[in-house]
Structure 1
Amino acid sequence: MTYDRSEAELARTLTGAADAAPPPVGDLLAAVQRRRGRRTRRRVQSALAVAGVVAVIGGGTAVARGFFSSGGGEGQTLSAATATATATATATASAGPTEAAEPRRVAIRPAAEVWPAAVTKIPVKAADGWRYRPVTGLSATELLLVAESSFEKAGRLEVYDTAAGTSTVLADMPTPEGVKGYFVQDVEAGAEYVAWWGETPNNSDKWADFWVVPRAGGTAKQVGQVTGDLSEVERIGVTADSVVWSAAGGGIYRMPLAGGSPEKIAGTDGLHLMSWPWATDVAKEGGGEAEQKNQTKVVNLETGQAAEVNVPAGVQGLRCGPVWCFGKEKDQENDASVVQRVDGSDRKSPPDLSLWGGERSLARGFGFFQISGVVGRDARGEEIEDAQAPLAAVYDPATGTAAGIGRRDPSGGGSYGTGTSSSPTSILYWDEGQRQVEKCRKVDATSVPHPPGEPVPTGKVTSCTTTTEGGGKELTVVNLLAVPPTE
């Protein structure tokens, strides 16, 4: 749930996403003989580099926008545009012969069928027109929401009762006096308090502050401020007497709710907060090599106990909670997923589920995966997609149950969002009324960028632009706190 920090930091985020992304359109044109051979992977290049995202999927290069993307500004929350150019049958090479595969269906049912009690509808906006941004579940029937007066400008916290269909204001989220360019960042729900932090992301100041309000509601209180490296907040948590957070460079700190100086929690060098009291030895963010790094320990900061992660050979990007881990197999074109317990037991590779970056873990030990939708190839080597397949899935590792998230457009596009809490969220959501519309036109191949040193394409290509239209009335929400316990 992170707002814009700075252009430099945003550039680092996009660079990290690019490190993990497939080749751009230019490479596709230069190797047109592959045509749409890996179209789906390009399509689902959702840059899940920021917390609380809406992944917008479509066309040849997908764009994912953070719900609290990385700073303040105006714009459409549930919108993105993608463009791709696909070569037609011209003077360039055509697809080689490929053995056709028998098409099948993705065997993952929608969440509304798997966990009907966990799926509900909420309005996109409050009665006064402020737009809601889901954060996480507070109970099986209560959702924590941020109401924004304008894009990424948080103004208040509300609790939406899905049983009654009503919303209650929890607290206003004030701007500190005398602070310009202030934006609220991550929100975290604790047992007794709800906490959040803010910063001035569009200037060079290294400064942040922390706020709390009783979970029952009331007046928000500024706990304190930090500067320097301590202001590079990664995740936050809140206990009965302190705000806790991890810094981007490692180390976990606390500050008393009554006010006072921050102090480092002993023994937390190199650790990163996951969800209080749990910490890990891998950072929250990171693309490229950092994303492929395996987690090796899970630490309970209350007891000091550390569990070593049994990392199997051939696995990368393994991320673990207190019980379950999620990663992927190395050197697998389809990003085959790996699920296991921290000690390495109960290892499995669920079909049709892939990890392509972003948050792997959700609340209550659930995993979060992408679904490519590819079910085979035709005689020309073209990918065949299941147009009814969900875009993503929540996976219950205890039972092996997968529940589909989001609705795929006929073109293969679509969008979904994850709740914007600091800890792994219990909320996923999407706009059923939203559609991606693709418009195509013929253009000269010479007008499309191509890799340096490669021959200039000739003939005509089809240039397509995908835009998001419709929706904006209600969100379909999956609240994992309403899923019956299985372990």
Structure 2
Amino acid sequence: MSTDLEDDLSRVLGRAAEGAPQAPTGFPGRIAARSRRRRTRTQALVAAVAMVIVAGGLGVTVRGTDGPRPAQTKLPDPVEKVWPDAVWKIPRQLPKVPDFRPLIFIDDRTVLLWTWKSDERTDAIYAYDLGTGRPRKLVDVPSEKWEYASSFAVGAGRIVWQTVDKNEQTRFWSMPVSGGKPAAIDTGGPVEGRGEKLIVVGDRVAFSLAGGGVFTFPLRGGRVTPVAGAERHHILRWPWVGTPSELTQDREPSFRELLNAETGQASNAVVRPGERYVRCGVTTCVGMRPDDTRFYRLRDGSRERDLPGSPVLGLGDDRFLAADPPGPASGQTLLDLATGKQGDLGLRPRVEGRMTGVEPGILDGGLVSYALKDQYVIIDLARIH
């Protein structure tokens, strides 16, 4: 592992870095000016596949509904008290807006909301102002029967997404952030394969396929170009791409191999015999040892630490976990491994023990959201320092 990556790894545990090596500007030629949240995320632009996908939404793994809180154990303070600048609660029902899910941040104060049709195809997208509490319809998303829109991303003043049809052919669309008519991006025909994740990087779009392979094309349209050496890879956090993907078979470690798509730098994570459910980000890995204890460590195998309680195995922004508190407490907390702080997510099991669970994932885009009674809780991981 090279020295510059090791330096960044050290900074993760020391809080000084947000978790990813700085991207050079050589690819794709220039990097557009970024907002505050993109700079603090080391130039990783938000993407629709931010966390775990559930029926087109983000950030939750559903195992049930809310229930009563046991009184015998004290849990940490609520997330909104621990990180007041990073947490919002918005109504689950909004005037003139159908059922929706929060997807991504358009900017520091605006969230993109996603609505769906009866067959779960995307219906429309809205911009929700967190300051005023007002939603604004951006556009009805065009799609044909058996064609599904996903992977919404923001950059260069545009909202970009993909549609995948029943033949697993992928097309790309774009519209102004302020709203307007969507237009297909001309890439010389559909891309063969099911698009998995896309981001906007300067004046280009980068995307990966579910079957592996990373590609780019001009935002205004043009030839699709494969990223050299990334034929098996998936976008993790640009410019880092890796293999295997987050969804692995036979308990393979996810993103064990990393490649910097701009410089060609490579990084292979240390995985020890008998370890299971290993999930690696750009700088760190979590997983389970043969004795069923959990660990958190740097990709080179150093600075290994035990994880408290029985955390759900997912790692947001290289530092955030949803963890079950130790002892008899029933609930779930958001744990910041860089600082040791925890916030109560407010989720409780029902009488039969089932509970909604939140799992920040390694494919993070900064937004965690989940339903809590009649509200959505929205957490901006980029605002947690």
> In the alignment, which residue of structure 1 is the partner of 2:232?
270
1:222 is displaced (CA, Å) by 1.2
| 1:195-227 superposed Cα distances (whole Å, 9 cap, x missing partner) | 211123xx4x23221112234443322114665
- Summarize the Cα distance change of 1:354–1:416 in structure 2 as closer, same or farther, 3 Å threshold: closer
1:187 is displaced (CA, Å) by 1.6
Which of 301, 320, 335 matches 2:280? 320
1:52 is displaced (CA, Å) by 5.5
Q: Check conservation: 2:321, 2:359, Cα contact below 8 A.
A: no
Matches within 5 A, 1:33-432: 66-68=54-56, 105=73, 108-150=76-118, 152-175=120-143, 179-190=144-155, 192-200=157-165, 203=166, 205-224=167-186, 230-287=192-249, 289=250, 291-293=251-253, 295-312=255-272, 314-332=274-292, 336-356=293-313, 360-362=314-316, 364-371=317-324, 375=327, 385-387=328-330, 389-390=331-332, 393-411=333-351, 412-416=353-357, 423-432=363-372
| 1:249-308 superposed Cα distances (whole Å, 9 cap, x missing partner) | 322112222223322111212221113222112113234x1x443543322212222233
- Summarize the Cα distance change of 1:236–1:423 in structure 2 as closer, same or farther, 3 Å threshold: farther
| 1:15-55 superposed Cα distances (whole Å, 9 cap, x missing partner) | xxxxxxxxxxxxxxxxxxxxxxxxxxxxxxxxxxx98558x
Q: Check conservation: 2:246, 2:254, Cα contact below 8 A.
A: no
RMSD of aligned alpha carbons = 3.4
Distance 2:224 2:209 in 1: 12
Q: Check conservation: 2:63, 2:357, Cα contact below 8 A.
A: no
1:418 is displaced (CA, Å) by 6.6
What residue identity is the alignment partner of 1:267? G
- Summarize the Cα distance change of 1:367–1:258 in structure 2 as closer, same or farther, 3 Å threshold: same
- Summarize the Cα distance change of 1:426–1:217 in structure 2 as closer, same or farther, 3 Å threshold: same
What residue identity is the alignment partner of 2:365? T
| 1:86-121 superposed Cα distances (whole Å, 9 cap, x missing partner) | xxxxxxxxxxxxxxxxxx847644312321232221
Specify every segment of 5 or more residues in structure 2 that has no aligned partner in the other structure, as ranges: 1-48, 66-71
Q: Secondary structure of 1:117's match?
A: coil
Specify every segment of 5 or more residues in structure 1 that has no aligned partner in the other structure, as ranges: 1-49, 55-65, 70-76, 83-103, 376-384, 434-472
Q: Secondary structure of 1:113's match?
A: helix
Q: Secondary structure of 2:356's match?
A: strand
1:133 is displaced (CA, Å) by 1.2
> In the alignment, which residue of structure 2 is the partner of 1:456?
none
Q: Secondary structure of 1:266's match?
A: coil
What residue identity is the alignment partner of 2:239? P
Distance 1:341 1:191 in 2: 33
- Summarize the Cα distance change of 1:300–1:246 in structure 2 as closer, same or farther, 3 Å threshold: same
What residue identity is the alignment partner of 1:187? F
Q: Check conservation: 2:321, 2:360, Cα contact below 8 A.
A: no
- Summarize the Cα distance change of 1:307–1:174 in structure 2 as closer, same or farther, 3 Å threshold: same
1:408 is displaced (CA, Å) by 0.7
Distance 2:254 2:380 in 1: 29
Distance 1:208 1:185 in 2: 10
Q: Secondary structure of 1:167's match?
A: strand
| 1:299-331 superposed Cα distances (whole Å, 9 cap, x missing partner) | 221222223323345533333333232222234
> In the alignment, which residue of structure 1 is the partner of 2:379?
478
- Summarize the Cα distance change of 1:321–1:80 in structure 2 as closer, same or farther, 3 Å threshold: closer
What residue identity is the alignment partner of 1:369? A
Q: Percent identity?
A: 24
State the TM-score, normalizing by the size of structure 2: 0.72
Q: Check conservation: 1:137, 1:481, Cα contact below 8 A.
A: no
State the TM-score, normalizing by the size of structure 1: 0.59
> In the alignment, which residue of structure 2 is the partner of 1:93?
none
